[in-house]
Amino acid sequence: IKKIGLFTSGSDAPGMNAAIRAVIRTAVFNNIEIAGILRGFEGMINGDIEPLTTKSASNIISRGGTILKASRSEAFKTVEGRTKAYEEIKKHGIDALVALGGNGTIKGVKDFGDEHPDIKIIVVPCTIDNDLRGTDFTIGYDTAINTVIEAVDKIRETAESHDRLFIVEVMGADSGMIALRTGIAVGAEAIMVPETKSDLNALYERLERGRKDKTSKIIMVAEGHEPGSAFQIGEAIKERYPNYDTRVSILGHIQRGGKPTCMDRVTASLLGVAAVEALIKGRSGVMVGLIHNDLTYTPFDQATKHHLDVNAEFKRIVEMLSL
């Protein structure tokens, strides 16, 4: 390969900059030219492409967000959009792509790669949702869950002072991975995720079984939980237990920002290097990942989730530990 086009696509995730740095530096180390494509697929279609040097990667490892900017592209979902993108990257002499993103990104590059097999493509998994197959942890997840527990620890303090019940909604699209892990870490009374059925009666039962002298309660709800959003669950609880002082708190986009944790920086560095080295070895059409600390290469069509299996142990212990 002669020239890599690097881009970040879909939602940003803390640690993307660390991965960008690793890809740039590994390319330069191996005398491969590298260009940044701005705003993901949109920049590819518009030819928004600029050279990257080793200096471009200076002092970005500790920063959240993405210096290459990110977006979701409707145009890239069409053959015309992808054809235009192909023409633009060819004009810039790009013969390989490293894409940093999650489900939508993988779907996009899969279609693009099927139509243009002369372009070699590797994906580095970056999303706070941790909802991809082929890696234990996606880049961004660790920072996001640490942001969540910091916020919910604060909520717990005020909940305790006021004897309140809080429903806390966290991100994750249609995955409950953020809610599940943080729920354990904050000592939640209950965790509600889209992957497993949770009915309100089970929640009521759970609340009634709880210690009577325990005055603060936290229920973690993944944003994709159905049926019943955090607000709907809050309303139902208010109606059934008028004596509970109930509040709903939606954590929102604070989960997407912030300085990446050590774990996200290291994973991003390992996988950024692995992506370029995979291209050098002639690989294409795969997502690099780490499973039990071993480097893995997962074909695009196997990396996108349907529904991941929820760790049954997490569900089992949460009720026992929050008694």
143 binds ligand F6P (CB under 6 A): no
304 binds ligand F6P (CB under 6 A): no
Contact between residue 101 and residue 126 where contact means Cβ atoms under 8 Å apart: yes
- Give Cα 42 to chain centroid, integer Å: 20
Q: What is the C-alpha to C-alpha distance for residues 289 and 239, in angstroms, rounded to an integer?
A: 46
**178 phi/psi in degrees, rounded to 5:** -70, -45
Residue 3 beta carbon to ligand F6P: minimum distance, rounded to whole angstroms: 29
Residue nearest ligand F6P (C-beta atom): 171
Strands of the 33-37 sheet, one edge to the other: 49-51, 33-37, 3-8, 96-101, 120-125, 286-291, 294-299
173 binds ligand F6P (CB under 6 A): yes
Q: What is the C-alpha to C-alpha distance for residues 174 and 186, in angstroms, rounded to an integer?
A: 21
The interface mask with ligand F6P, positions 74-103, x = CB under 6 A, is ----------------------------x-
Tokens encoding 69: 């900017």
CB of 164 or CB of 194, closer to ligand F6P: 194
Residue 68 beta carbon to ligand F6P: minimum distance, rounded to whole angstroms: 17
129 binds ligand F6P (CB under 6 A): yes
Q: What is the C-alpha to C-alpha distance for residues 102 and 218, in angstroms, rounded to an integer?
A: 29
Q: What is the C-alpha to C-alpha distance for residues 299 and 304, in angstroms, rounded to an integer?
A: 9
Residue of the chain from 22, 119, 148, 171 that contacts ligand F6P (CB under 6 A)? 171
Residue 87 beta carbon to ligand F6P: minimum distance, rounded to whole angstroms: 28
Residue 261's nearest CA partner among 33, 70, 63 is 63
**Which span sits near ligand F6P by CB under 6 A: 55-63, 122-130, 182-190, 301-309?**
122-130
Residue of the chain from 14, 40, 108, 172 that contacts ligand F6P (CB under 6 A)? 172
Residue 172 beta carbon to ligand F6P: minimum distance, rounded to whole angstroms: 5
Count of beta carbons in the 10 Å neighbourhood of residue 290 = 18
Residue 199 is among the residues annotated as catalytic for this protein: no
Annotated catalytic residues are 129
> Which residues would be at the binding site for ligand F6P (CB under 6 A)?
11, 102, 127-129, 171-173, 223, 256
